[in-house]
Structure 1
Amino acid sequence: MPPWGGGLGWSVLRRNRIAAGVIVAAGASLVLSACMSPTPAPTPTPTTTSAAPTATPTPTTPAVPVLKPGLSADENLAYFDMVNNAVIAANANAGGRDFVDALVAGGFDKAAMQVTPDRTAVDLQADSIQWSVLFNSECLVGQYGPASGGYHGIVADPTGQGACLLGETRPIDW
């Protein structure tokens, strides 16, 4: 008989201890199995965002070229071309004087210009004409006519004599 008493008390106490051990063992087993099981990845919760409406880009109109006297001929070629193309748009049969007058009206120096004749030595319409402006030590040169395939504008170096066109040019005396 145990020291605390005998009989029925002992078996109840023993049963309670066994039950407590089973419960503790079961709890430990659950805890250990939870540690060993992979934790399910959290399921992402869909979110909604309300973004401000984005502005649709509007096409920008390219800037209209302007004469920039302090800049290089290269930086003024777009303006030179614009003036010359406007002459052609207004008159598909434009001659040298039309281009010279338009360039003077556009701000170029008439004294710095050269132009080839509109007519050949046998008085036929020239297949193409050329004109130029000596501009800040460079040449803006235009060419137009059926033999040249339409209008072309370039920047070129002046000749050794400081002219832009070689060959016969006509006086700009108007």
Structure 2
Amino acid sequence: MSARGRLLLAAPVLVLAAALAGCSSAAPAPSAVASSATAPPSATASPGRSAAPAPAPSYRPDGTAQANKAWFDAVNTKLFAANAGANGRAIIDSLVSAGFDKAAMQVTPDKTSINGGVDSILFSVKIGDSCLLGQHGGGGYSSAVEKALGSGLCLIGKTRTIDW
């Protein structure tokens, strides 16, 4: 048999041996080099292609609540980063400045019935038959998109009149 023939027969054996070499019962000791070398590749690491940056969110007047959620989150995140104690009026004013319809909004009171502070403020913007829901308080900011209630509103319970 020629050298080339022996090499062709040996190649599958070498591949199998290399694959089995990784199978051992003892785990190697962790090291900084090993952990950085085994990090998953980033989404932009594909050869010959670079990922386009995600477009900045913006208000879509004819869009759905889901289509406007990224803008809703961006506006609220920016407000709370600048003013962690923003009250209901500041939240509504910020959303109006960002293009959302004030007439479609609801917000819960800033104070309890005995004039104490509230744990969180809930606010919403109704778009079509869905609602952008936001909550801000000691636990931070969170949001969701949900169907409007049967009443056509977004929030249950006491809300304050938005009359400014």
Give the TM-score taking structure 2 as reference length. Answer: 0.68
Distance 1:143 1:165 in 2: 11
Distance 1:107 1:165 in 2: 21
For the pair 1:156 / 2:146, whether they are aligned, the reply is yes
CA distance 1:57–1:113, change in 2 (3 Å): same
Partner of 1:141: 133
The equivalent position to 2:159 in structure 1, one of 153, 159, 169, is: 169
Distance 2:87 2:58 in 1: 23
Structure 1 residue ranges (4+ consecutive) displaced by more than 4 angstroms after TM superposition:
38-41, 55-60
Of all paired residues, the percent bearing the same amino acid is: 46
- What is the aligned residue count? 123
Secondary structure in 1 matching 2:80: helix
Q: Please report the RMSD computed on the Cα atoms of aligned residues, expressed in angstroms.
A: 2.1
Deviation at 1:156, TM superposition (A): 1.1
Partner of 1:25: none
Partner of 2:33: none
Deviation at 1:72, TM superposition (A): 1.6
Give the TM-score taking structure 1 as reference length. Answer: 0.65
Unaligned runs of at least 5 residues, structure 2: 5-46
The equivalent position to 2:61 in structure 1, one of 69, 75, 83, is: 69
Deviation at 1:70, TM superposition (A): 2.0
Deviation at 1:74, TM superposition (A): 1.1
For the pair 1:122 / 2:117, whether they are aligned, the reply is no
1:3-50 deviation line (CA, Å, top 9, x unaligned): xxxxxxxxxxxxxxxxxxxxxxxxxxxxxxxxxxx8886xxxxxxxxx
Secondary structure in 1 matching 2:125: strand
1:67-124 deviation line (CA, Å, top 9, x unaligned): 1122221121111011111110110111111110011011110000000000101111
Unaligned runs of at least 5 residues, structure 1: 1-37, 42-54
Letter in 1 for 2:65: A
Partner of 2:87: 95
